[in-house]
C-alpha cells in the first residue's frame, strides 16, 4: 500500500510517498527557515503564504522521486492537527482536493503521533508498547504508546515546551532561529557546571521549563547590564544541561515506576546531542532499549506522516471532505 503524505503544520512544506508504513519511496522537505530567520521566529502569515506557493511543486516532486503518479497511490494522508492553523489549512485543503479528484481515501494524522512514527521508519524492529518522550517546538509530552493508534499522555510541560525555551534562550544569546540547533552547537566547549539553575519540582510526570528560561534570560541580561561579555558557550551548555536533566530525569522515573524497558525519543528536540547522549547512558545502565530517529527524521517531514497514516488506515481511520484543521488536539 502506497500513501502520499502531506505535512504543513509549521514552517516546512513536506510531501512523501511511503509504502506499508515503513519504506520511504520519496521524501521532500521545503524549508522556510531563510524566510523567518530575519524575524527570529516563525511568522504565521508568511508561513501560510509560502506553503500555498510550495505545496504543488513539493507534492509533484515527491510523486516523481518515488517513480509514481496519483494512479498508483492508495491513500492521501495529511497532518490536520496540532499546529499553526493557517499552515495546517493549506495542507488539509490541498489533500482534500487531491483525495476527491483521485477518488482516494483521506487519512488525518496527528502531528505528534507522526513524530513518534518517525522511529518506525528508522527501526524496523520497533513495535509498541513503549514509553516515548515527544519534545518539539510546541510540545513536551511523556506518552505511553500501547499500540500504533492507542496512546496515553502521562506527563507534560505545564508551561513552555522544551524546544520553545531552547529557541528563546538562544535568541537572547544572539543565536539565529531555529535556536535549538544553534544553542546545541554553541554549547560544545562550554562548561555545563560553571553554575546551575535550580530544577523545578512538579507533580507526577509533569515538567516545567519557564522558570529556568527566565533565570537564564535574566542571567544573560545581567552580563549585558554590567557591560561584560556574555559567556555564550558556558550559558548554552548550562542551559542545555538543565533542560536535558528535566527531560531525562522525568522520563527515566516514569520508565522505572511504570515498568517500561523500551524507550523512544521523538520530535525536533530529539536531535539534541546532549539529550541523545545522556538518554543513551541512562538506558545502558538500566538495561533498557533506546530508539531515536536519525537526525533527518527528528524535525518536521512527511515521511513520518506516511508511516503513522498506514497504522491509522489499518485501524479504520478515515476523514470526509468536511475534515478541518485544528490548532490544538490531544494525542490521545
Ligand atoms: O518537531 P519540530 O521540528 O517542530 C515542531 O513540531 O515544533 O521541532 C522544532 C523544535 C524547535 O524548537 C527547535 O529549536 C528544536 O526543535 N530543535 C532542537 C535541536 N534541533 C531542533 N532543540 C535542541 N537541540 C537541537 N539539536
Ligand atoms: Zn513537529
Domains and CATH numbers, the chain: 2-117+297-314 (3.30.420.40), 128-295 (3.30.420.40)
Ligand 1 site residues, Cβ closer than 6 angstroms:
10, 115, 136-138, 163, 166-167, 178-181, 184, 267-269, 271-272, 299-300
User: Residue 318 gets which letter from DSSP?
Assistant: -
Task: Please check whether residue 144 is in contact with residue 258, taking contact to mean a CB–CB distance below 8 angstroms.
Answer: yes
User: Can you tell me which residue has the cell 537526525?
Assistant: 295
Check residue 194 and give its pLDDT.
87
The predicted structure's pLDDT at residue 147: 98
CA of 97 to the centre of ligand 1 (A): 30
Which grid coordinates are listed for 156?
507534560
Burial 202-211 (b: 16+ CB within 10 A, else e): eeebbbbbeb
Find out whether 2 and 19 touch, Cβ atoms under 8 Å: yes
Q: What is the position in ligand 1's atom list of the atom closest to the CA of 138?
A: 7
Q: Which of 248, 14, 44 is nearest to 142 (CA)?
A: 248
CA distance 96 to 106: 7
SS3 202: coil
All cell numbers assigned to 255:
520508565
Please state the atom number of ligand 1 nearest to the C-alpha of residue 137. Answer: 7
**What confidence score (pLDDT) does residue 14 get?**
98
Write the DSSP string, 158-169. Answer: SSS-HHHHHHHH
- In Å, what is the CA distance from 45 to each residue of 51, 87, 163, 299, 302? 10, 8, 21, 21, 21
For 253-310, the three-class secondary structure string (H helix, E strand, C coil) is HHHHHHCCCEEEEECHHHHCHHHHHHHHHHHHHHCCEEECCCHHHCCCCCHHHHHHHH
Question: Are the beta carbons of 165 and 242 closer than 8 angstroms?
Answer: no
CA distance linking residue 326 with residue 92, whole number of Å: 10
Residue to mutate, 137, 165, 241, 329, ligand 1, most ligand atoms under 8 Å from C-beta: 137
Task: List Cα–Cα distances, 243 to 23, 265, 319, in angstroms.
Answer: 33, 15, 38
Which stretches of the chain score pLDDT less than 70?
none
- 16 CA → ligand 2 middle, Å: 15
Measure 166 CA to ligand 1 centroid, in angstroms. 8
d(CA 190, CA 207): 25
**Ligand 2 centre from 6 Cα, in Å?**
13
Cell numbers for 217, please give them: 534570560
Question: H helices within 27-151, ranges in order?
Answer: 33-36, 44-65, 85-102, 111-122
Which ligand places an atom closest to the C-alpha of 180? 1
Amino acid at each position: 500500500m502506497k500513501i502520499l503524505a502531506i505535512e504543513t503544520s509549521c514552517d516546512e512544506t513536506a510531501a512523501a510517498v511511503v509504502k506499508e508504513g515503513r519504506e520511504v519511496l520519496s521524501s521532500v522537505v521545503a524549508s522556510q527557515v531563510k524566510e523567518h530567520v530575519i524575524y527570529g521566529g516563525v511568522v504565521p502569515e508568511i508561513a501560510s503564504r509560502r506553503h500555498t506557493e510550495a505545496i504543488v511543486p513539493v507534492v509533484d516532486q515527491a510523486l516523481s522521486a518515488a517513480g509514481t503518479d496519483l494512479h498508483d497511490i492508495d491513500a492521501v494522508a495529511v497532518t490536520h492537527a496540532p499546529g499553526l492553523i493557517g499552515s495546517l489549512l493549506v495542507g488539509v485543503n490541498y489533500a482534500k482536493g487531491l483525495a476527491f479528484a483521485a477518488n482516494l481515501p483521506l487519512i488525518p494524522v496527528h502531528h505528534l503521533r507522526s513524530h513518534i512514527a518517525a522511529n518506525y521508519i528508522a527501526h524496523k524492529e520497533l513495535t509498541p508498547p513503549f514509553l516515548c518522550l515527544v519534545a518539539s517546538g510546541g510540545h513536551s509530552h511523556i506518552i505511553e504508546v500501547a499500540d500504533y493508534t492507542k496512546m496515553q499522555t502521562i506527563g507534560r510541560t505545564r508551561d513552555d515546551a522544551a524546544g520553545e525555551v531552547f529557541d528563546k534562550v538562544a535568541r537572547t544569546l544572539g543565536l539565529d532561529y531555529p535556536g535549538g540547533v544553534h544553542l546545541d552547537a554553541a554549547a560544545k566547549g562550554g562548561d555545563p557546571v560553571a553554575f546551575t539553575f535550580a530544577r523545578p519540582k512538579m507533580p507526577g510526570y509533569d515538567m516545567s521549563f519557564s522558570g529556568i528560561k527566565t533565570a537564564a534570560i535574566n542571567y544573560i541580561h545581567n552580563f549585558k547590564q554590567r557591560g561584560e561579555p556574555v559567556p555564550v558557550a558556558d550559558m548554552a551548555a548550562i542551559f542545555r544541561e538543565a533542560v536535558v536533566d528535566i527531560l531525562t530525569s522525568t522520563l527515566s522515573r516514569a520508565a522505572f515506576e511504570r515498568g517500561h524497558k523500551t524507550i523512544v525519543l521523538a520530535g525536533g528536540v530529539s536531535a539534541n546531542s546532549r539529550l541523545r547522549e545522556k538518554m543513551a547512558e541512562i538506558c545502558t545502565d538500566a538495561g533498557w532499549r533506546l530508539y531515536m530517529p536519525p537526525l533527518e527524521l527528528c524535525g518536521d517531514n512527511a515521511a513520518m506522516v506516511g508511516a503513522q497514516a498506514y497504522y491509522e488506515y489499518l485501524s479504520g481511520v478515515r476523514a470526509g471532505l468536511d475534515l478541518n484543521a485544528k490548532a490544538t488536539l490531544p494525542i490521545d
